[in-house]
Structure 1
Amino acid sequence: MSTFRKRFWANKTAVVCSILLLMLCLVAIFAPILAPHDPTEIFQNNRMEGSSSEFLLGTDQFGRDLLSRVIYGARVSLLVGISAVMVSVFFGTLFGLIAGYFGRWIDGFIMRVMDVLFAFPEILLALAIVAALGPGTFNTIMAIGIVNIPIFTRTVRGAVLSIKNLEFVESARAIGASTPRILFKEIFPNVTAPLLVQSSLAISGAILTESALSFLGLGIQPPDPSWGGMISEARRYMELAPGMIIWPCVAMTITILSCNMFGDAVRDILDPRHRGK
């Protein structure tokens, strides 16, 4: 752990991205304090205004404060992204451990189901699930979570296959350790590194998918603020009020880029080939 900390602080990309992500999380948590206005409050006389002392980023077509909506949109996007990945990690880890450890027909059955899910493009599968369940925050989380389960299943399965026959696992079997103990006490701690990297990358994908669903009207429903929903509403007013589409795009770009670069940096830190450098 001390080696990881040293290499983490020596990696400038990891440090900068972790600071950005921490700031985004703090903005989402303290949105009611940081937002100057209620994100759904309408100012009839201030529609599509530019930047001013009262509305720093301007207002939208209904006179709602853009800064407040972007801040609350961060809360929605991070909530959906992190929650969806947690769903994916839980079921993907469980299926991956079972498939990799037991093998044979169990492995074949689980992986064929994952292949069926993989056969569909992510956004189309998410659209189909949301269309079946109905729009809303919870259903959006479940749809994105289900879509990402095959990725984590394959990640964990591959790690399990590489370590299940090593000496420490064989020793656990020899002393009569139960299967659950072998899976969760011996094998699982050794697959957390690839899970951490994949999770950080999956969060950015989940945020992007949520934005796409909200853009199409099947994700977070108005008047709740969502970056994708804000972009969808702003496309009609790009020439009159370009800030309506610029600011949610900037916020989403920074978030997704930070998650991807953080995941790449952590992968490099945990890569054994770089430990001697």
Structure 2
Amino acid sequence: MPEPDLTPASTVEVLSAPTPESQFTTAKASRKSLLLTGIPMLVIGLGLIGFGLSTGLLVTLVKVLLMVVGVFLAIAGLGRTAEGIRGRKVDVVFGLGATWLVLLLAAAALAPWLPLGNHNDSAAGLSAPIFASPSLGSEYPLGTNNYGLDLLARAVYGARTSLTVSLFAILIGMTIGGLVGMVAGFFGKATDRVIGIFANALLAVPPLVLLIALGTVLDPNMRNLSIALSLLTIPSMIRVARANTITFAQREFVLAARSMGATRWRLLSKELLPNVLLPVLSMGVVMVSMLIVAEASLSYLGLGIQAPEPTWGNMIAEGESGVMEEHPFIVIVPGLCLFLTVFSFNLIGEKVQKRWDPRSAKL
């Protein structure tokens, strides 16, 4: 008859538990495996992107499909490679989005000093080739339009216009909407009801209808566009500022300041404003992408900045009348810039909102 095992359970658990040396070996093997699969995926993805951009042997649709597959492979390979190097997961998509925005903002700010081609002088473009195909080694790496204007230069200056209009619009919206919302939340009663009716009235008007109406009345310049687009942000900013003001007005530090005789101005400026500002800023980052799309829509409809001054919207409009079928890069270049910028702002806005607005983190 076999003897019973009298080894304590705790001893068995200790003996079966992985040792630090085995854990280190397993982690090292896992990181090596990630590198062995990630680096080839990254190289293949970059190779497909480069081949799609440089080859003239394939039709445009096949080249675009190759580049899309290459982008996905490159992102997946970069993520695995970064995880293998750092030993933990890395949010590669967020990093790429942030990098894109940094490069775009830098290029837009430094556009007058960059060695870019002709972006708006149609007369000077008469000597340049029209509809030149994109080629990395040529004078026009992203091609030219029907006036011989450089699409790379137009994309950069279009970013300058779109970002300037959108950022000024969001600043106006945050300033006016934030202050009005704080007043509504702090004073309440009749003040709150009147401001609430104003905000709901703005929300009741379809945004595109409002923008078209303003675009037909105002001159299409950057100042008027910023004012018109800010009307889309004010109602949301009022609601965010009002809700946070009501929440923080019941906190102990505000009640203590009120009991010590603090004036309403001091309560609003010193106690409430610093706490309401962060949620309003997080909402502003989220809404920048919406304003960029709205500005592009107005320019596409001919109600925004007028050609030959470039914006992404009127650059996309250049692909009308059958041009896109023969020269799709006319639309792909500004469309891709618009997509990447909006996508990146949405990613960063989501992260910022989770960090700065506690209510959104609970959703």
TM over 0.5: same fold?
A: yes
Q: Aligned pair 1:29/2:109, yes or no?
A: yes
From 148, 156, 165, the equivalent of 1:80 is 165
Equivalent residue number for residue 269 of structure 1 = 355
Q: Aligned pair 1:165/2:245, yes or no?
A: no
Q: 1:273 to 1:79 in 2, by over 3 A?
A: closer
Aligned residues: 266
Unaligned runs of 5+ in 1: 1-9
Q: 1:12 to 1:166 in 2, by over 3 A?
A: farther
From 35, 51, 54, the equivalent of 2:134 is 51
Q: 3-state DSSP class of the match of 2:146?
A: coil
Q: Is the 8 A contact 1:46 1:59 kept in 2?
A: yes
Q: Is the 8 A contact 2:174 2:281 kept in 1?
A: no
From 299, 308, 319, the equivalent of 1:214 is 299
Q: Is the 8 A contact 2:241 2:276 kept in 1?
A: yes
Q: Residues of 2 paired with 1:260 and 1:96: CA distance?
A: 24
Q: Is the 8 A contact 1:238 1:245 kept in 2?
A: yes
Superposed, 1:69-148 pairs within 5 Å as: 69-148=154-233
Equivalent residue number for residue 41 of structure 1 = 121
* Per-residue Cα deviation, 1:104-161 (whole angstroms, up to 9, x for no partner): 0000001101100000111211221222223221111100012210010001101111
Q: Aligned pair 1:155/2:240, yes or no?
A: yes
Q: CA deviation at 1:20?
A: 2.3
Q: TM-score, normalised by structure 1?
A: 0.90
Deviates more, 1:209-218 or 1:36-45: 36-45
Q: TM-score, normalised by structure 2?
A: 0.70
Q: Is the 8 A contact 1:73 1:225 kept in 2?
A: yes
From 277, 291, 302, the equivalent of 1:192 is 277
Q: What RMSD in Å do the two structures reach over aligned CA positions? A: 1.9
Equivalent residue number for residue 331 of structure 2 = 245
Q: CA deviation at 1:267?
A: 2.1
Q: Is the 8 A contact 1:140 1:219 kept in 2?
A: yes
Of all paired residues, the percent bearing the same amino acid is: 35
Deviates more, 1:19-28 or 1:93-102: 19-28
Q: Residues of 1 paired with 2:148 and 2:284: CA distance?
A: 38
Equivalent residue number for residue 17 of structure 1 = 97
Q: Is the 8 A contact 1:136 1:219 kept in 2?
A: yes
From 234, 244, 262, the equivalent of 2:319 is 234
Q: Residues of 2 paired with 1:246 and 1:14: CA distance?
A: 23
Q: Residues of 2 paired with 1:32 and 1:64: CA distance?
A: 16
Equivalent residue number for residue 67 of structure 1 = 152
Unaligned runs of 5+ in 2: 1-89
Q: CA deviation at 1:269?
A: 2.8
Asked which structure has the greater RCO (Cα within 8 Å, sep 6+), the reply is 1
